Amino acid sequence: MKGCFLLQRRFAYLGHAIIRSLKEQYGVTDFCGYVYQRSSYDFLRSQKDINYGTLLLDEDIHKKYKEEKVDKKYLAYLEETYGIPNLWPYLTIDRILMSNQLVREYPYDQPPFDHETMLRILQVHARTIETMLIEEKPDFVFASVVGGLGNLLLWEMAKKMGIKTLVTLPTCTGTRYLISEEYDSFTGAESLYELYKDKPLDFFKSATDFLAEFRNKPKAYSPAIPNYLKNTTRSSQFQFLRPAKLLRSVNWYKEILTQYREQRKNHDYSYDTHPAYYLVDHIKRKIRNAIGVNDLYDEFNPEEDFAFFPLHYEPEIALLLQAPWHTNQLNLINQIAHSLPVHYKLYIKEHPAMVEFRPRSFYKALKKNPNVKLINPRISSFDIIPYARLITTITGTVGWEATLLKKPVIMFGNQFYKFLSSVKKCPTMKELPYLVQEQLNNFVYNEDEVIRFVQAILDESIPINMTQLWEYEPDHEKKKIGLQSMVLLLAQKLNLVQK
């Protein structure tokens, strides 16, 4: 058996640890991969544990576009063979190509390439990835995330070639993860859910216990969420002037300069920007947060009739991949606000991770709607949801949390809980007012359905602290040990037998 791993940036270290375990415990010896970030690629090439076959580095593929010419016949072939249904999704999912992020900091939003250049970039990635899949013939593709031009091409090409695709996803039920064959649904959990339909409810004690605990004391599935707001107070914007922090800022900028000089040698597009822009973006953010938006926040009034819409983090795959037609959140807010009963308010709350980045002009624009209220992000969503008559979300976790709390939900993108009967997906804006009316006046909550699906998620997933292993654990052996439950889960999906 041969595996192809999508080794995205720092996940390369976790992916390599999983690969080592597959070799040692299950005898899988053949691996190829698609790698983002040169430092990750250099690590994989220098290690001695695994003799990789083809290892493609995204940044090296990107360089080839300068010798590429737009080939309309080849583009037509790609569109016919791998289109969804055209080729735009492969470009629009890539935040560097479309907005020059992560190179620049939000709210910067200017593509670094023109249309013709984007087509050339698309062509060189498609040619290289298709050739690798044809030559390597992997039995499966494993990813930690599906996002970015090369990433999505690899995923979709593998599917069209009949190669098994697997991605690890957070379950939003505590720190549990599962492995799915699709990036916008829990395929294994859905299959279990179908099997559980005929079982009595006393079979699902784990689910009922989880729901009882969550409803008694709801909390965000990610421990990082409450920490996002710590650096957004007005006083915190001047903390960098303290001697110790000022020295740290100087050292940080020196590191950026060093990294820039090293990356410039390779002309890596994902870092190919002058360090002055980092400084400019950082200073702009400090000024924005020093000015603040406290004067724009409205009072939370649990007594009035309102719908709730939590803003999404952007740009991110939750929008770019799972809801590509709803990336303009301002426009969607306008549509929702005018689809509510005329006396209703629409409560908007910022995503905790976006508070220090979103410009004041964005909030002023959304408040032009007379029935829109901007709620202070320091108010927990769990304090808002119980009083909301309706929850609206694009693909957010809040929709899942509201479902567990028995609230009506309307969603606009594709997310794992979309098939539940109490959640309504809006197919077109024309139908939204009628969908709102249905959820407000004829909402039916199916507790049995939710219990069975939660049980399926718990049975299909594993408890694992991925954030700690991914972001903070420096020791490669400890990473490997910490990932053993993920290795076992992957082996089960691949029907592997331990040696």
pLDDT tens readout for residues 146-188? 999 999 999 999 999 999 999 999 999 989 999 999 999 999 9
Question: d(Cα 444, Cα 438) in Å, to the nearest integer?
Answer: 10
**Residue 428: pLDDT band by 50, 70, 90 thresholds?**
very high
**Could you tell me the CATH number of the domain that includes residue 465?**
3.40.50
Do 34 and 160 lie in a common domain? yes
Inter-CA distances, 132 with 55, 93, 163, Å? 9, 22, 13
Instruction: Tell me the per-residue pLDDT of 374-422, one tens digit each, with 9 for 90 and over.
Output: 999 999 999 999 999 999 999 999 999 999 999 999 999 999 999 999 9
Residue 359 included in any domain: no
Residue 69 included in any domain: yes
What's the maximum distance between 2 C-alpha atoms anywhere in the chain? 67
Question: d(Cα 100, Cα 358) in Å, to the nearest integer?
Answer: 16
**pLDDT above 70 (res 293):** yes
Do 152 and 282 lie in a common domain? no
Residue 355 included in any domain: no
Do 280 and 146 lie in a common domain? no
Do 22 and 122 lie in a common domain? yes
Question: d(Cα 59, Cα 9) in Å, to the nearest integer?
Answer: 11
Inter-CA distances, 377 with 229, 311, 390, Å? 8, 10, 19
Do 162 and 82 lie in a common domain? yes
> Encoding tokens for residue 455?
């049980």
**pLDDT above 90 (res 354):** yes
Query: How many domains does one find in the chain?
Result: 2
**Structural domain boundaries enclosing 65:** 2-171+461-493
Tell me which residue of 223, 224, 229 sits closest to 356, measured CA to CA.
Answer: 229
User: Judging by beta carbons within 10 Å of its beta carbon (0-12, 13-18, 19+), is residue 62 exposed, middle or buried?
Assistant: buried
Do 140 and 17 lie in a common domain? yes
Backbone angles phi, psi at 23, to 5 degrees: -70, -50
Distance of CA 188 to the CA centre of its chain: 20
Residue 323 included in any domain: no
Contact of 426 with 435, CB cutoff 8 Å: yes
Last residue of a domain, one of 273, 291, 309: 291
Do 163 and 239 lie in a common domain? no
Do 6 and 108 lie in a common domain? yes
Q: Specify the pTM.
A: 0.92
Do 37 and 130 lie in a common domain? yes
Residue 408 included in any domain: no
**pLDDT above 60 (res 35):** yes
Inter-CA distances, 374 with 182, 309, 314, 473, Å? 35, 10, 18, 38
**Residue 239: pLDDT band by 50, 70, 90 thresholds?**
low
Q: What is the pLDDT of residue 235?
A: 61
Per DSSP, the three-state class of 144 is: coil
Inter-CA distances, 83 with 80, 91, 164, Å? 6, 12, 19
**pLDDT above 90 (res 287):** no
Per DSSP, the three-state class of 345 is: strand
> Encoding tokens for residue 261?
């000089």
Q: What is the pLDDT of residue 286?
A: 83
Residue 387 included in any domain: no
Last residue of a domain, one of 268, 291, 314: 291
Residue 88 included in any domain: yes
> Encoding tokens for residue 110?
């200017």
Average pLDDT along the chain:
93
Do 282 and 161 lie in a common domain? no
Last residue of a domain, one of 247, 276, 291: 291
Residue 444 included in any domain: no
Do 162 and 241 lie in a common domain? no
Do 161 and 240 lie in a common domain? no
Question: What is the DSSP track for 93-132?
Answer: T-HHHHH-TTTS-TT----SS-HHHHHHHHHHHHHHHHHH
Rg (CA), the chain: 24
Backbone angles phi, psi at 374, to 5 degrees: -100, 120
